[in-house]
Structure 1
Amino acid sequence: MIIERDVPIPMEDGVVLRADVFRSDSGGPHPVIMTLGPYGKGVPYRDGFKPQWKWLISAHPNVLPGSSREYMNWETVDPEIWVPWGYVCIRVDSRGSGRSPGFLDIFSKREARDFYEAIEWAGTQPWSNGKVGLNGISYYAITQWNVASLQPPHLAAMVPWEGAADFYRDTARHGGILSNGFIDTWYPRQVASVQHGNRKAIMDPWMKEISSGPEADFLSESELKKNRTDPVQDIVDRPLDSDWYRSRSVDWSKVVVPFLSAANLAGYGLHPRGNYEAFTQAASTQKWLECHPGRHEEWFYLDQGMALQKRFLDHFLKGDDNGWEKESPVLLHLRRPFSEEVELRKESAWPLPRTHFTKIYLDASEPSALGMNWGQPNEPSSISYVAMEESLTFYSPPLEQDTEITGPLAAKLFAASATNDMDLFVTFQAFSPDNREVEFQGTIDPHTPLAQGWLRASHRKLDATKSLPYRPFHSHDELWPLEAGSVYELDVEIWPTSILLPKGYRLALQISGKDFERPLPPDHPNEAWVSRGSGPWLHTHPADRPKETFCGKVTLFTGGDHPSYLLLPILEG
C-alpha cells in the first residue's frame, strides 16, 4: 500500500483541506472510496475510541480477517481490506477539524460544498478511474446525503450506513422537542476535542504529530471557541424548522446517485428515519434499503456487511457484472424475541407489500388495567398523569397467532393539558407470556425497546402534502399553543420497527411526558453511555422544557368521540 499523509485538497475560497490517501502500489487507476468528517483522520480507532474498540474486538475477535487493523479510523472503511480489493481509500478532515484549518460548522452548507470539491478533486487524480464512491457510518453517512443533493459529477455510488438526513426531525428536535442529550456529550468528546488548533488533541501515531494540526496553528481556548459553532445553543435558539435546518438537511428531489441505504432496526433517536426516508423519498431510480440489527459500528465491519458493501460498489464503481442490478430493493433481517439470530428476507418495496395497517385502540375504562383492543370502545373514558413524573402503559390481550410487525407506526391520541403545551413520549413494547420485555441491542443502548416516537402538542400542525396515514409529517413552521383543559387530536410519528412475535405475547404502548427509561439495569450501562432504554438521546434541556409548562397534568381520552389508537404495520399471512 502507498500511504500519503496530509495531502492538500484546495477549496475554491482558498482554504486547503488535508487528506490521507491509501492506494495500491501495483498501479491503477482505481475507483475511490471517500469520507469527510470532523473526527480526525489521524485519530486511530483503537486510541481515540478505546471502549468501542475493546467491545468490537471482544465481541468479534476475528473481525476483518486478513487485516492488522492498524490503519483504522472510527466509522470508516479499513484500507487494508479495501485497497487489496482494488480501491483507493481517502479520509478528509472537514474544515476546522483535525489537520484542516477553518471555521468548524458541523453539517453546514459549506461542509457539503467542501465535500463536493473533494470528490471532484479525487475523481480527476491520475490514480483514479473517475468514479468516486462514498461509504461510512453515522456522520460519514449524513454528509453523503448532503453532498449528494449537490450532484458532484464524479460521484458514482454511495453507501450511507445509518445516516440521519433531516437535521430538524431526525437529529435536533424530535417532534419539535429539543434532543440535547446526545449532542451535549458527543460534540465536546468527539468533535471539539479534535478541532483544528486544539493542542490537547490526541497524537497522530502515523505522522507523529498532534492530530489537530501543526504547532503553528495551535489556538487558545477562547480562540477555539470563537472558531466553532455552539450546536446546542443554535438549536435552542431555533425551535421551528427554518432555512438554517434545511441547509443542514438533504433535498430528496436532488438525490439521483445510486445508493444502498443501511438502516439499524433499533436506532431510535438519530439515524434510521433518514435511511427509510431516503428509500421512499429520494429521486434516484437505483436505490436499495438494507435493515439490520446490532450496534451501529458492528454490522458495517462484519462479513455480511462487508460483502454487501463490496458487491454494491464493485457493480457501480468497477462495472462488475455481479447480478446486483437484479437484487431485491429491500433486504430485511427479521428479528425474533430473545434471540441474536436473524433471518434475511428479500422484499420488493417499503412499506412491505403485504402490510395491513391495523388500528389497535386504547381503553382507559379500567384505570387499574389499561388496555388495547382491536375493536373500538364505544364508551368514552379518560385517565390523567403528571407529565414529567408518571407514565401510562396500555396492554393488549395475548396475540392469538404468530404476528409479524414490520414497518412504520403511528399513534393518534386525544389529550388535554392543564397548561398551554405538552410533550408526548410514545414507546412501543412487547412482553412474553412470563412478562419479560422484548428488547434488543440498539445502536448504542443494549436495552432498546421496539419503537419510539415523540411530539410536542404545539407542533401538531401537519403538512398535508407529505403526511401519510402511517407516517404523519409535521410542518414545524408555527406554534399552535393549547387552551388549558381543551381536548386536541394529536398524530405521533413512531419510527419503523421489525419483529416477529409468537402467539401469546402481548403488545404495549407507554405514553409519558418524559424520556422512556427503565431502572438502571443490573448489568450496568454499556461502556460509553448510561443505557436505560433511550440511550443518550434524551430531551432534558431546561430552556426547552420548563417545568411550569411541561410538568402539568395531562389527560388522555379513549373511546367514544375520542378513539385514541396505535396504527400497526401487520404483515398478512
Structure 2
Amino acid sequence: MLAAGSLAVAGLSAPPATAGDPPPPVSVDQRFTTSDGVSLQTTLTSTGPVSAKPTVVEFSPYGDGSRTLEVGPDYNYLLVQIRGTGDSDGSFDALGPASQRDVVEVLQWACHQPFSDGRLALNGFSASAIVLYNSWHQELPCVKAAILKSGTHELYRDLLVPGAILNLVPGAGVIAMIGAPALLQGVDRLQRSPGSAFGVVGGLFASGLGVLAHPTLDQWWRDRGWRGNANDIPVLMINGFYDVESRGAFQAFQALRADGAHLVMEGGHDGVPVGSDGGRGEAAAWLDHYVRGVDNGIEATPAVSLLLAKGSRASYLAGEHVRREAADWPVPGTRWTTLSLAPGRGLQTGTPAATGLASYLTVPSLPTASTSPMRRSSRPVAPARSPERSRCSPTAGSRRSTA
C-alpha cells in the first residue's frame, strides 16, 4: 500500500513580498507510507507557490535540512529521510534492500504528485549517493538524469574494509552522523509514534553489528554495492582525487558511460579547490539539458574532466592545479610507470641504487577478511599485505598512471 499522510506547510511566515521580489520559498512536510507500512518523512522545497515542476529527489540519512544541492526556481526539491533515520520510522538497514525498495516506491509516488510534472532527477552526496548506486539494478521510474557526488561503488572495499583492514573510524563516524539527527528529531517521533524509537535505535545498532558480523565480501555486502544497471539514465559523477570515497566515481563512470555519463573530478569530501566551483556549474547545466531539454551543449563536452594537483593537497586546495579533459577513463594514451621503494619512505622511478630499511606503524589485515590470504570469498581477489617493515630492493616496485 502506498499512502500519504497529512500536509504541514512551513516557511510561510516571511514578510509579504513587495513588487519585483521573488516569491518566498515554501517548505511542505509530508508523510509517505511504504508497501511494508513504514512511514517516511519527506520535505518538498519550492519557490512558492507550489506548482508542477521538474523535481529533484534526494534520499538522505542525515535528517531534516540535509539536502546537498541548490536548484533554481525552475525546479522543486524533494528530500526523503531514509527509513530508520531522521524522523522516518522503520529500521535502518545500512542502505540495503529495504531502503533500495523505498527508492523505487517513493519515485513512483512523487512522479504523480501535484508538485511534479512527471520529470524527476536524482541527487546524492556521500550516503545519499551510495543508496542510489545500490539501487541502480532496479528500474527507477520517471528519472531523467542524476547527479551523484562522492559515493562508494562498493561499501566493503571502498570504505569500510579497504585492503582487508577494518576501517572502524569512518564507519563509527557515519553511524554517529546518522544517529545524531535521529536523536534530535526523536521528540517529534515519540509524539507521533512512540513505538518507532525502538526500531530506529535497533536498526542503527544492528547496522553497526552487521559490519562486524560479515567480515567477508558475502551476500550481505553485495546487497550494499553495485549490482548492475536496469536504467538508461545519464549520470554526472562529481568527486575529488583526495576524497575518502574516490574509487566509487571511477567505477560508476565505467559502468554507466554507455548511458552518457560524465565524470568531473574537482572536489568532494576533501573540499573544493580555489578557482573551482566543485562541479556546480556542470550540475546545473546537466539538469537543465537532460530534465528540461535546454540546448546548452553539456552533452557534447568531454566526458571526463580532471582537476589535477600540481603539488601537495594543500597547494591543490589553495589553487595550484591544472585541468585535463578526456573522452574516457582511464585517459586514452595513459602510460604506466614503474615505481620502486626508495631509501627512507619515498618512491622513485626506475631501480633504486641502494637498499634501506624503513619502519611504519601498521594495522594487520583481518584474518577473516575476504581479501586476506587466510580466507577468500567466492569472488577472486588479490591478497592484501601489511608488512611492518618494507625493504627497498631492485625487484620491489609498483605502478602509477600518468596521463
What band does the TM-score fall into relative to the shorter chain? 0.7 to 0.9
Consecutive unaligned residues in structure 1, runs of 5 or more: 42-72, 204-209, 390-421, 425-454, 462-473, 481-488, 493-512, 514-552
Q: Is 2:37 the counterpart of 1:11?
A: no
Q: Is the 8 A contact 1:253 1:283 kept in 2?
A: no
Give 1:168 shift: 0.7
State the partner residue of 2:69.
77
The alignment of Structure 1 onto Structure 2 pairs a total of residues equal to: 372
The higher relative CO (CA closer than 8 Å, separation ≥ 6) is in 1
State the partner residue of 2:159.
171
Moved more, 88-97 or 335-344: 335-344
State the partner residue of 1:345.
324
Partner Cα distance (2:115, 2:383) in 1: 56
* Counterpart amino acid of residue 130 in structure 1: G
Structure 2 CA distance for partners of 1:331 and 1:224, relative to 1, 3 Å: closer
State the partner residue of 1:356.
335
State the partner residue of 1:265.
241
Give 1:169 shift: 0.7
Give 1:213 shift: 2.1
State the partner residue of 2:306.
332
Partner Cα distance (1:460, 1:11) in 2: 40
Give 1:567 shift: 0.5
Q: Is the 8 A contact 1:161 1:261 kept in 2?
A: yes
> 1:138 pairs with 126, 149, 152, which one?
126
Partner Cα distance (1:27, 1:225) in 2: 35
Deviation per residue, 1:243-267 (Å, 9 max, x gap)? 1001111224445421001111211
Partner Cα distance (1:224, 1:490) in 2: 37
Q: Is 2:89 the counterpart of 1:101?
A: yes
State the partner residue of 1:191.
178
Q: Is 2:371 the counterpart of 1:459?
A: yes
State the partner residue of 2:213.
237
Q: Secondary structure at the match of 1:230?
A: helix
Give 1:150 shift: 1.1
Give 1:237 shift: 1.6
Structure 2 CA distance for partners of 1:354 and 1:18, relative to 1, 3 Å: same
More helix by share: 2
Q: Is 2:55 the counterpart of 1:32?
A: yes
> 1:154 pairs with 128, 142, 146, which one?
142
* Counterpart amino acid of residue 179 in structure 2: A
Q: Is the 8 A contact 1:252 1:282 kept in 2?
A: no
* Counterpart amino acid of residue 38 in structure 1: P
Q: Secondary structure at the match of 2:159?
A: helix
Q: Is 2:222 the counterpart of 1:246?
A: yes
Q: Secondary structure at the match of 2:233?
A: coil
Q: Secondary structure at the match of 1:318?
A: coil
Q: Is the 8 A contact 1:95 1:104 kept in 2?
A: yes
Q: Is the 8 A contact 2:145 2:291 kept in 1?
A: yes
Give 1:229 shift: 3.8
Partner Cα distance (1:258, 1:457) in 2: 35
Give 1:160 shift: 0.6
Q: Is the 8 A contact 2:130 2:151 kept in 1?
A: yes
> 2:283 pairs with 269, 290, 309, which one?
309
Deviation per residue, 1:386-406 (Å, 9 max, x gap)? 7649xxxxxxxxxxxxxxxxx
Partner Cα distance (1:87, 1:166) in 2: 31
Partner Cα distance (1:457, 1:9) in 2: 39
Partner Cα distance (2:85, 2:359) in 1: 46
Q: Is the 8 A contact 1:255 1:283 kept in 2?
A: no
* Counterpart amino acid of residue 321 in structure 1: D
More strand by share: 1
Q: Under a length normalisation based on structure 2, what TM-score does the superposition of the two structures give?
A: 0.80
Partner Cα distance (2:290, 2:340) in 1: 47
Structure 2 CA distance for partners of 1:475 and 1:150, relative to 1, 3 Å: farther
Structure 2 CA distance for partners of 1:267 and 1:119, relative to 1, 3 Å: same
> 1:375 pairs with 350, 358, 379, which one?
350
Give 1:112 shift: 1.0
Q: Under a length normalisation based on structure 1, what TM-score does the superposition of the two structures give?
A: 0.58
Structure 2 CA distance for partners of 1:136 and 1:109, relative to 1, 3 Å: same
Percent identity, aligned pairs only, is 22
State the partner residue of 2:398.
566
Give 1:35 shift: 0.8
Partner Cα distance (1:30, 1:220) in 2: 33
Deviation per residue, 1:29-74 (Å, 9 max, x gap)? 3111011122112xxxxxxxxxxxxxxxxxxxxxxxxxxxxxxx33
Partner Cα distance (1:143, 1:223) in 2: 20
Q: Is the 8 A contact 2:89 2:199 kept in 1?
A: no
Partner Cα distance (2:268, 2:83) in 1: 32
Consecutive unaligned residues in structure 2, runs of 5 or more: 1-23
Partner Cα distance (2:134, 2:235) in 1: 13
* Counterpart amino acid of residue 74 in structure 1: S
Q: Is the 8 A contact 2:107 2:140 kept in 1?
A: yes
Give 1:556 shift: 4.0
Q: Is the 8 A contact 2:190 2:197 kept in 1?
A: no
